[in-house]
Amino acid sequence: MPHLHLEYTANLTDLAVEKTLLRLNNVLMASGQFGSEFDIKSRALKVESFQVGTSLSPRAFIAVKLSLLSGRSPQVKKQLSESLLAALQDVGEWPADMQVQLSVQLVDMDRESYSKVAIG
Protein backbone atom coordinates (compact mmCIF):
# COMPACT_ATOMS: atom_id res chain seq x y z
CA MET A 1 0.00 0.00 0.00
CA PRO A 2 -0.49 2.72 -1.31
CA HIS A 3 -1.75 2.67 -4.90
CA LEU A 4 -1.15 5.83 -6.92
CA HIS A 5 -3.08 6.38 -10.15
CA LEU A 6 -1.94 9.25 -12.39
CA GLU A 7 -4.11 10.32 -15.32
CA TYR A 8 -2.74 12.88 -17.76
CA THR A 9 -4.01 14.36 -20.99
CA ALA A 10 -2.37 13.33 -24.25
CA ASN A 11 -1.52 16.94 -25.14
CA LEU A 12 1.12 17.00 -22.38
CA THR A 13 3.62 15.55 -24.83
CA ASP A 14 6.72 16.61 -22.88
CA LEU A 15 5.65 15.00 -19.60
CA ALA A 16 8.34 12.56 -18.45
CA VAL A 17 5.90 9.97 -17.13
CA GLU A 18 8.31 7.45 -15.60
CA LYS A 19 10.33 10.22 -13.96
CA THR A 20 7.12 11.73 -12.58
CA LEU A 21 5.98 8.41 -11.10
CA LEU A 22 9.37 7.86 -9.48
CA ARG A 23 9.32 11.36 -8.02
CA LEU A 24 5.83 10.83 -6.58
CA ASN A 25 6.89 7.46 -5.13
CA ASN A 26 9.87 9.16 -3.48
CA VAL A 27 7.59 11.81 -1.98
CA LEU A 28 5.40 9.07 -0.51
CA MET A 29 8.38 7.19 0.89
CA ALA A 30 9.82 10.39 2.41
CA SER A 31 6.52 10.99 4.23
CA GLY A 32 7.33 8.23 6.72
CA GLN A 33 3.82 6.79 6.33
CA PHE A 34 4.81 3.63 4.50
CA GLY A 35 7.00 0.79 5.70
CA SER A 36 8.78 -0.23 2.53
CA GLU A 37 9.38 1.34 -0.86
CA PHE A 38 8.28 -2.01 -2.29
CA ASP A 39 4.74 -1.34 -1.04
CA ILE A 40 4.26 1.79 -3.17
CA LYS A 41 2.65 0.99 -6.50
CA SER A 42 2.06 3.68 -9.11
CA ARG A 43 0.81 3.69 -12.64
CA ALA A 44 -0.03 6.25 -15.31
CA LEU A 45 -2.80 6.41 -17.86
CA LYS A 46 -2.70 8.77 -20.83
CA VAL A 47 -6.17 10.16 -21.55
CA GLU A 48 -6.62 10.50 -25.31
CA SER A 49 -10.19 11.84 -25.28
CA PHE A 50 -10.91 14.67 -22.85
CA GLN A 51 -12.45 18.12 -22.51
CA VAL A 52 -11.62 20.67 -19.82
CA GLY A 53 -14.50 23.11 -19.38
CA THR A 54 -16.28 24.54 -22.41
CA SER A 55 -13.54 26.62 -24.02
CA LEU A 56 -11.79 25.54 -27.19
CA SER A 57 -8.54 26.99 -25.85
CA PRO A 58 -5.80 24.43 -25.21
CA ARG A 59 -6.12 22.96 -21.74
CA ALA A 60 -4.73 19.91 -20.00
CA PHE A 61 -4.74 18.14 -16.65
CA ILE A 62 -2.91 15.74 -14.43
CA ALA A 63 -5.09 14.05 -11.83
CA VAL A 64 -3.56 11.90 -9.11
CA LYS A 65 -5.66 9.53 -7.03
CA LEU A 66 -3.91 7.99 -4.04
CA SER A 67 -5.64 4.99 -2.49
CA LEU A 68 -4.63 4.33 1.12
CA LEU A 69 -5.64 1.81 3.72
CA SER A 70 -8.14 3.45 6.05
CA GLY A 71 -7.17 4.80 9.44
CA ARG A 72 -4.93 7.81 8.74
CA SER A 73 -5.82 11.15 10.28
CA PRO A 74 -7.13 14.05 8.19
CA GLN A 75 -3.88 15.92 8.94
CA VAL A 76 -1.74 13.10 7.53
CA LYS A 77 -3.92 12.88 4.43
CA LYS A 78 -3.72 16.64 3.90
CA GLN A 79 0.08 16.55 4.23
CA LEU A 80 0.32 13.70 1.70
CA SER A 81 -1.98 15.52 -0.72
CA GLU A 82 -0.08 18.80 -0.45
CA SER A 83 3.30 17.07 -0.84
CA LEU A 84 2.19 15.23 -3.97
CA LEU A 85 0.72 18.42 -5.44
CA ALA A 86 3.95 20.33 -4.78
CA ALA A 87 5.96 17.57 -6.47
CA LEU A 88 3.66 17.63 -9.50
CA GLN A 89 4.20 21.36 -9.90
CA ASP A 90 7.95 20.76 -10.18
CA VAL A 91 8.04 17.87 -12.67
CA GLY A 92 9.11 20.00 -15.60
CA GLU A 93 8.37 22.88 -17.90
CA TRP A 94 4.69 23.47 -18.54
CA PRO A 95 3.46 24.56 -21.99
CA ALA A 96 3.28 28.37 -22.08
CA ASP A 97 0.25 28.37 -24.38
CA MET A 98 -1.87 25.94 -22.34
CA GLN A 99 -3.67 26.02 -19.01
CA VAL A 100 -2.79 22.90 -17.02
CA GLN A 101 -4.75 21.83 -13.96
CA LEU A 102 -3.13 19.62 -11.34
CA SER A 103 -5.12 17.77 -8.69
CA VAL A 104 -4.61 15.18 -5.97
CA GLN A 105 -7.38 13.12 -4.38
CA LEU A 106 -6.93 10.71 -1.48
CA VAL A 107 -9.26 7.75 -1.15
CA ASP A 108 -9.57 5.42 1.83
CA MET A 109 -9.58 1.69 1.13
CA ASP A 110 -11.26 -0.55 3.67
CA ARG A 111 -8.41 -2.00 5.73
CA GLU A 112 -10.39 -5.08 6.80
CA SER A 113 -11.20 -6.22 3.27
CA TYR A 114 -7.88 -5.43 1.56
CA SER A 115 -5.80 -8.50 0.69
CA LYS A 116 -2.26 -8.69 -0.66
CA VAL A 117 0.51 -11.18 -1.20
CA ALA A 118 4.01 -10.67 -2.59
CA ILE A 119 5.41 -13.55 -4.64
CA GLY A 120 9.13 -13.88 -5.15
Numbers of helices and strands, H then E, in the chain: 2, 4
pLDDT at 80: 98
pTM for this entry: 0.91
User: Residue 74 is part of a domain; what is its CATH number?
Assistant: 3.30.429.10
Instruction: Examine residue 119 and state whether it is found in any structural domain, yes or no.
Output: no
**Range of the structural domain that residue 93 is part of:** 3-109
Supply the mean pLDDT for the chain: 94
Q: Kindly state whether residue 118 falls inside one of the protein's structural domains.
A: no
Tally of domains within the chain: 1
Q: H/E element holding 45?
A: strand 41-47
The pLDDT of residue 120 is: 85
Q: What is the pLDDT of residue 32?
A: 94
- What integer pLDDT is reported at residue 119 of this predicted model? 85
* Residue 116 covered by a domain: no
| Strand order from edge to edge, sheet including 99-109 | 41-47, 3-9, 59-69, 99-109
What is the bridge-based pairing of β-strands 59-69 and 99-109?
parallel
